[in-house]
Amino acid sequence: MLRLYFNRIPHKLNRVNNVFLSTTAKKGILFKNYLSAVGSRFDFITIHGPTVDEVTKDIDLSNKTCLITGANSGIGFEMAKCLSSRECSVLMACRNPYAANIAKNACENSHLLKLYELNLASLRSVKKCSDEILKEQPKIDMVILNAAVFGLPWTLTEDSLETTFQVNYLGQYVLLTNIEHILAPDARVVIVSSESHRHVSWDFNHQLTPTEAMVSLPEQEYTSIRAYNISKLCGIHFMHYLSYRWVNSGKSVFCAHPGSFVKTRLCRNWWPYELLYTSMKPFSKSISQAAATPIFCATSPELQGLSDIYFKDCKRCEVSDLAQDLHLSFRIYDLTKTLVRDRVASSTDADAVRVKPAVAFPDVDEATLVANYSG
Ligand SMILES: NC(=O)c1ccc[n+]([C@@H]2O[C@H](COP(=O)([O-])OP(=O)(O)OC[C@H]3O[C@@H](n4cnc5c(N)ncnc54)[C@H](OP(=O)(O)O)[C@@H]3O)[C@@H](O)[C@H]2O)c1
């Protein structure tokens, strides 16, 4: 009896083991399938996209000149590095001369890069920068309006406009319109945009009569995300307006969304954003992949003859309903013109006193620059 009983135990154990093993194996397979499904979804959304070097492969950019705003950092720097490595002359319009010089020296063909000081939060600085560009450059083939801020507390610029709005949109509008007449006949302008433009909602009355307070938010209505979204929406309307103005001219203009949660210095202004972007880093594009879409728009021969298109992942993409409204584009253009005209008119007298003469960036070695910068 006892022997019989003990003889059965291994069978029982085996049966239990078999069941356990088979369910574990099934779970394992299910888990593996799940991972590969998740993986392919990430594949599809963000992780794999061409890098900036891949999209410029085989494109001849020698004898071309490209102006990039905010070219010392993140996506702008990646674009400057790539274009200069392909023999394109790059005009880096940057706020911080020291950081810009370090960035320039980090590029392979640094002799092809030229620095211009530009603080988009100051219309005087924008004017000074555009005057210098006009004085020194006979022709510009590509312009990439890339500079931006995000996550700032509410502040007003010296021109009495909300900072995010002025830096991300209005300052770059002024820069481009100032240098418009030296754009090559087949020039391309790329406005670095964002999917966040989709989150703006304005009611019908506001759409009919946009006001300063809708775009340059007063403190009580301000959140940094809201201001950023509005600035990016204005950028898309600027694209519509420009392509209307340049119809049949050979010039074209595109908007490009580089990717979401790309870990650059954009999120540095508020630690929760820094934390969020850092934790999203494994799932988002690399900086080189993020730079690919704007560079594709600026250089791809496939886009010859096209204009007024929003790109994401190097593919054409619909913009939000609010961003499609061409009537709104004209109204925002009129509003922008008024905002600029009022400010330029009121600053003309003061300019003579306040604007310092243009100073060329010194060619200082990196160690000195780092010392000065940190000091
Ligand atoms: N990173 C993302 O996930 C993401 C997503 C969607 C769209 N984008 C867009 O991609 C573009 C590039 O951003 P990024 O991620 O590369 O950020 P980033 O590393 O912070 O670069 C922004 C650049 O703008 C410059 N800038 C800021 N304020 C300026 C001012 N007042 N005057 C002149 N230049 C100024 C910065 O100069 P300083 O170094 O002197 O500050 C910097 O060079 C932006 O248009 C951004 O909206 C980024």
pLDDT at 347 (0 to 100): 56
What pairs with residue 227 in β-bridges?
A: none
Ligand 1 within 6 A of CB of 217: no
* pLDDT for 47: 56
According to DSSP, the residues that pair with 162 across neighbouring strands are: 156
Q: Provide the token pair at 142.
A: 């590509």
The span from the CA of 53 to the CA of 82, in Å, is 7
Which of 117-126, 136-145, 170-179, 262-271 is least confident? 262-271
Q: Closest ligand 1 atom, CA of 196?
A: 6
Closest CA to 117 of 137, 135, 138, 101: 101
Q: Is any atom of ligand 1 closer than 6 Å to the C-beta of 72? A: yes
Domain boundaries, the chain: 62-354
**Does 9 score more than 70 pLDDT?**
no
Pocket flag, ligand 1, residue 167 (CB < 6 Å): yes
- Place 344 in a pLDDT band, splitting at 50, 70 and 90: confident
Q: Is the CB of 261 under 6 A from ligand 1?
A: yes
The mean pLDDT value of the chain amounts to 84
**Helix, strand, or coil (residue 284):** coil
Report whether residue 266 contacts ligand 1, using a CB cutoff of 6 Å. Answer: yes
Strand, coil or helix: what is 61?
Answer: coil
Q: Which two tokens stand for residue 312?
A: 């994401």
Residue of 173, 228, 277, 310 with catalytic role: 228
Is 90 exceeded by the pLDDT of residue 7? no
Mean pLDDT value of segment 136-140? 97
Give, using CA atoms, the residue closest to atom 44 of ligand 1.
Answer: 148
46 with 58: CB under 8 angstroms? no
Find out whether the beta carbon of 265 lies less than 6 Å from any atom of ligand 1: yes
Any idea which architecture 62-354 has in CATH? 3-Layer(aba) Sandwich (3.40)
What is the atom index within ligand 1 of the atom nearest the CA of 277? 3
* pLDDT tops 70 at residue 93: yes
CA of 182 to the centre of ligand 1 (A): 25
Quote the pLDDT of residue 43: 46
Q: Is the pLDDT of residue 373 over 60?
A: no
Give the mean model confidence (pLDDT) for residues 33-57: 64
Q: Residue 280 has what pLDDT?
A: 87
Query: CB-based contacts of 97: which residues, under 8 Å, 6+ apart?
Result: 115, 117, 361
Instruction: Give the separation between CA 55 and CA 273, rounded to whole angstroms.
Output: 30
In the predicted model, is pLDDT for residue 296 greater than 50? Answer: yes
Predicted local distance difference test score (pLDDT) of residue 41: 45
Asked about 373 being catalytic, the answer comes back as no
CA distance 69 to 61: 19
Q: Read off the pLDDT of each residue in 156-173 and give the average, rounded to a whole number.
A: 97
Helices marked H in 200-315 — which ranges?
Answer: 204-208, 212-215, 224-245, 271-280, 287-299
* Angle, CA of 163, 169 and 171, to the nearest 5°: 75
In ligand 1, the atom with minimum distance to the C-alpha of 119 is 32
The confidence band for 207, taking pLDDT boundaries of 50, 70 and 90, is: very high
Q: Please report the atom of ligand 1 found closest to the CA of residue 268.
A: 20
How far away, in angstroms, is 14 Cα from ligand 1 center? 63
* Residue showing tokens 């694209």: 239
What pLDDT shows up at residue 355?
A: 33
DSSP percent split of the chain into helix, strand, coil, nearest 5: 60, 10, 30
CB 79 within 8 A of CB 342: no
Tell me the mean pLDDT in the region 102-122: 96
* Nearest-CA residue for atom 17 of ligand 1: 266
Distance 308 CA to ligand 1 centre (A): 22
